[in-house]
Amino acid sequence: MSVPTTGRTTPELTAWLSDRIALYLKRRPTEIDPAVPLAEYGFDSVAALSLCGDIEEDFDLILEPTVAWDYPNVRALAAHLAESLESEAAG
């Protein structure tokens, strides 16, 4: 179910993404360096598409299915997510 989108800070989104991506990769969240491209951890294109669905579900936000390709690490993805949520809230 979707959660309130307000008050989501970039650090919170970073933590959410690290947690979720760690599940995909069967690693600990602390092992995911926000600056390292996810593909280097073996995060494949199928998982990237799935992650997009997770974001959609948890944040009630529709993103391009290629979002994890264009923002290839946790830091970039968190920033993009924060921005999208903000413009969603504003719009």
Partner 1 sequence: MLIGSAATGPHEVSAGPGPYPPGGQEDRVVARIAELETRLGDPTDERGEVSYARLLEADERAELSEHGEQALDDLVLNADFVPHRLGGRLERIDTLVRVMRQVFRRDIALGLGYGVTSFMAAVNVWSSGTEEQRRRLAELLLDGRKVSVAYHELAHGNDFVRNEFQARPADGGYLLNGTKQVINNADRAAAWVLFSRTSPAPGSRSHSVVLADRAGLDQDRYRVLPRYDAVGVRGCHLSGLEFTDCPVPAAARVGEEGKGVELALRAFQITRSAIPGMALGATDTALRTVTGFALGRQLYRKSVMDIPHAKATLATTFLDLLICDSLSLAATRAVHVLPEETSVYAAAVKYLVPKMLTDAMYDLSIVLGARFYVREGEFGIFQKHVRDLPVLSLGHAGSAACQATIIPQLSRLARRSWFSDDPAPGSVFRPHEDLPDIPFERLSLASGRDGLSASLVAAVDELPSGSPEERAAHGAALRLMDELRQIQEQSLGLAPQDRTALASPATFALADRYAVLLAAASVIGVWQQAQGGSDTFLADPAWLAAALHRLGRRLGHSLPDLPASCENRLHDEVLARFHENRSYDLYNAPLAG
Task: Tell whether residue 3 is a contact of partner 1 (CB under 8 A).
Answer: no
Of 43 and 59, which has the nearer Cβ to partner 1? Answer: 43
Using CB under 8 A, count the residues that bind partner 1.
27
Instruction: Output the CA–CA distances (angstroms, integers) from residue 69 to 23, 81, 90, in the order listed.
Output: 18, 14, 26
| Alpha-carbon span 81 to 30, nearest angstrom | 20
Task: Tell whether residue 72 is a contact of partner 1 (CB under 8 A).
Answer: yes
Residues from 31 through 60 that contact partner 1 (CB under 8 A): 37-40, 43-50, 52-54, 56-57
Task: Tell whether residue 81 is a contact of partner 1 (CB under 8 A).
Answer: no
Contacting positions for partner 1 (CB under 8 A): 20, 23-26, 37-40, 43-50, 52-54, 56-57, 65-66, 69-70, 72
